[in-house]
Structure 1
Amino acid sequence: MHDIKRYLSAAFLAVALAGAVGCAATSKQEGTGEYVDDSVITTKVKAAILNEATLKVAEINVETFKGVVQLSGFVSSAADITKAIEVTRAVGGVKSVKNDMRLK
């Protein structure tokens, strides 16, 4: 009976370790916590752009990976690009901003 408990404990520990390793982040894939953090950053950036009267949130796409925010889409002026980058950098949690926005 004692051997069965030891075997089950070892099996449970192996499964738990395999599960933890499966959720770990890699350079190309985020862990669960990082994905949630990036989702929050994306939402905050979209809200900040929406609150900026000169910018149109429908024109700017926002994606975040490990704190790096990528802005893309087509905007009306170079001033809009500059303002969107400025607004994005002011959001907490943003490590850097990649600009892929283009002029219409």
Structure 2
Amino acid sequence: MTLPNRFAAIFSALLLVSVVGCASTPKHEGTGQYMDDTVITTKVKTAIFNEPTLKSTEINVETYKGTVQLSGFVNSRADMKKAVEVARSVEGVVAVKDQMQLK
């Protein structure tokens, strides 16, 4: 094997290992999916915080594969409904699970 062929083979092997290492499995997210979910979580938190009718900072946001779960405590059912609406309006959100409770 010539020197350029060896470098090409090594480079191809490293490229394959790096691509496979970042792939997701059915139960675990890949690196790209994790970053996307982190961005969605941040956008939803920001949207909820910027919503003037939602004064509660006790709403927790978690995202997995585009599905947002809202949990924590709110003052009224209207606040629950508004938080879900705000979360659904964020780009990238696939579904919203409402696990919030009334104070």
Q: Which residue of 1 aligns with 2:10?
A: 11
Count the aligned residue pairs.
103
Unaligned runs of 5+ in 2: none
Superposition deviation, residue 56 in structure 1: 3.0
Superposition deviation, residue 39 in structure 1: 1.6
CA contact (8 A) 1:46 1:57 kept: no
Relative to structure 1, the CA distance from residue 46 to residue 21 in structure 2 (aligned partners, 3 Å threshold; closer, same or farther) is same
Superposition TM-score, scaled by structure 2 size: 0.86
Superposition deviation, residue 41 in structure 1: 1.2
Q: Which residue of 2 aligns with 1:26?
A: 25
Letter in 1 for 2:43: K
Q: Which residue of 2 aligns with 1:43?
A: 42
The 1-side partners of 2:13 and 2:72 are apart by 46
Deviates more, 1:87-96 or 1:9-18: 9-18
SS at structure 1 position matched to 2:68: strand
Q: Which residue of 1 aligns with 2:51?
A: 52
Quote the sequence identity (%). 61
CA contact (8 A) 1:23 1:31 kept: yes
Superposition deviation, residue 57 in structure 1: 4.8
Check if 1:65 corresponds to 2:49.
no
Aligned-pair RMSD on alpha carbons? 1.7
Relative to structure 1, the CA distance from residue 58 to residue 33 in structure 2 (aligned partners, 3 Å threshold; closer, same or farther) is same
